[in-house]
Amino acid sequence: MLIGIDDTDSNEGMCTTYLAALLADELKAFGTVSDFPYLVRLNPSIPYKTRGNAALGIEISLFDESLESKKELISFATNKIEEYADLSCEKTNPGAVFIFDEAYVSLRRPLNDFFKKAVTDVVEIEEAAAFLKSAESDFSNSVFHISMKNGRGLIGALAVCGAVLNPDWDATYEYLAYRLPKNWGSNGGPKRFVETESLILADKTTAPETWDTIDYDKKSKPFPVCVPGGNDPVLFGIRGDSSDAVLKAAKCVVSEEIERSRVFKTNQGTDAHLILAESFSDMLPLHSYLSKGTVSSKSETIEGGHDIFQIQDDYGNFLKCAAFEPTGDFRHIIRELIPGDEIRVCGSFKNETLNLEKIKILKLAEEFESVNPNCPICGKKTESAGVGQGFRCKKCKTKTESKAEVLIPRKISVGWYEVSPSARRHLSKPLIRYSKDELIS
Ligand SMILES: [Zn+2]
């Protein structure tokens, strides 16, 4: 059977991954819990999402498949959700879905569609409710749900069930370590202790199989991206391509005492949210796209250090692109783009603007400047001989009529460029994960 949970966390601290890690440990009383709970990120552009827009799934092979035992499990999980969900937060609207084996085959495909839609598109609560109504009437003893407050969490709860039942997607892993509950505190608790040197070692030991542990992009000193702040029960998280890699990295870390830890199977770092857009006119708000265009205006840096420029597609549509201040050194690349450069763009479309996650420079335009020509004899730069008089070399007495056009060397080259790890969206695929072919194509 599987359990999908969503929307128990809040901006104040509680985190659904902790609840899932706790349930994965405690549900061992009911059956064999599969090695990796699922941590699935949904459409990052949804405005009413909780912090990370994550949904959690746990799969269990039950010891006892009787209806009584199923109900016992549901009530156990419900109590835990009630205990740990931050119901006081307006944005926290928990939902949980329980799907037992008898319904797996029939629900696999519709749940897969639901999962894909929740990652790339906008799903309303009504759609989740209708799905559950129909599934619960078809499988009265095999599909159950609970919801609290407006029940928005049912969307993610169903979506993660689709992810668990259709494991064919590009998966990555994240090791999460949790602080002792006494350290959570309402004001962030005592300062987190995670030794940065040990995180650098973890990164050096396991990269490129792990990523986004340290942000080296910060000018001052290496920044531990993998350590959250505030009230979050998470102490640190290591992301990587395999469970072995993230566990190996975690072993290097020197930190305060950990209450529990868990490796999650995730869709983080996979670009699952991106939709291919041929034309900019196909772009809809609250969706994320991969597209292509030609730079039509040079970037302008606006107040706050954000960079804005415009590109044009093959059909004559214009698109505003933004690289916000937190994207870091990425903006230095953006500022070097000139009209005529051809680029691939990835990002979320909001307020008529594509918020860039990464770009690929496909072709650089040639830029020329007019300069005094060189002397045809000695090769030295000539001087102006007066208005309309051409140019002459003092030494050789040669004369040249007009200025020379020379190519201005470009400071950037073709290839992929991405935002700083600190600014990366959970779903965005880091370049470190790209194969050689993907980097070229
Ligand atoms: Zn000369």
* CATH of 274-366+411-424 given 2.40.50.1010, 3.40.1310.30, 2.60.40.1240, 3.30.1280.10: 2.40.50.1010
Calculate how far, in angstroms, residue 382's C-alpha sits from the geometric centre of ligand 1. 7
State which amino acid sits at residue 318: F
The rounded percent of the chain whose pLDDT value lies above 90 is 82
Tens digit of each residue's pLDDT (9 = 90 or more) over 199-220: 999 999 999 999 999 998 766 7
| Separation of CA 406 and ligand 1 centre (Å) | 19
* Residue-by-residue DSSP string for 52-84: T-EEEEEEEEES--SHHHHHHHHHHHHHHHHHH
Question: Residue 106 Cα, ligand 1 centroid: separation in angstroms?
Answer: 85
Decide if 359 contacts 428 (C-beta within 8 A).
no
CA 372–ligand 1 middle distance (angstroms) = 13
What's the chain's average pLDDT? 93
SS3 assignment, position 99: strand
Gap from CA of 123 to ligand 1 centroid (Å): 73
398-423 pLDDT tens trace:
999 999 999 999 999 999 999 999 99
- CATH number corresponding to 2-165: 3.30.70.2200
CA–centroid distance, 375 to ligand 1, in Å, is 5
Per-residue confidence band for 436, with pLDDT thresholds at 50, 70 and 90: confident
Distance 371 CA to ligand 1 centre (A): 16
Q: Do the domains 2-165 and 172-266 sit in the same CATH topology, yes or no?
A: no
pLDDT, average across residues 119-146: 96
Token pair recorded at residue 47: 């405005």
The string of pLDDT tens digits covering residues 344-393 is 999 999 999 999 999 999 999 999 999 999 999 999 999 999 888 999 99
For residue 236, how far is its CA from the centre of ligand 1 (angstroms)? 67
CA–centroid distance, 392 to ligand 1, in Å, is: 8
**CA distances for 209 relative to 255, 345, 430, angstroms:** 22, 25, 11
Q: How far, in Å, is the centroid of ligand 1 from the Cα of 441?
A: 48
Sorted by where each begins, the domain ranges of the chain are: 2-165, 172-266, 274-366+411-424, 368-407
Distance 369 CA to ligand 1 centre (A): 22
Q: How many Å lie between the centroid of ligand 1 and the Cα of residue 390?
A: 14
Q: Which two three-digit tokens encode residue 302?
A: 């606006």
Is the pLDDT assigned to residue 12 strictly greater than 60?
no
Residues with CB under 5 A from ligand 1 (ion): 375, 377-378, 393, 395-396
Distance 398 CA to ligand 1 centre (A): 6
Label residue 425 exposed, middle or buried (CB < 10 Å: 0-12, 13-18, 19+). buried
CATH architecture of 172-266: Alpha-Beta Complex (3.90)
- pLDDT confidence bin for 49, thresholds 50/70/90: low
Between the CA of 366 and the centroid of ligand 1 the distance, in Å, is 29
**Ligand 1 mean position to 383 CA, how many Å?**
10
Query: How far away, in angstroms, is 409 Cα from ligand 1 center?
Result: 25
According to the model, what pLDDT value does residue 186 have? 67
Contact 20, 74 (CB under 8 A): no
Residue with the two structure tokens 């920044």: 223
Convert the pLDDT of each residue in 65-119 to its tens digit: 999 999 999 999 999 988 888 777 777 888 999 999 999 999 999 999 999 999 9
**What is the average pLDDT across 333-337?**
97
Q: What is the pLDDT of residues 284-320, one digit of tens each?
A: 999 999 999 999 999 999 999 999 999 999 999 999 9
Buried b vs exposed e over 1-12: b needs ≥16 C-beta within 10 Å?
bbbbbbbbbbee
- The answer, yes or no, to whether residue 187 has pLDDT greater than 80, is no
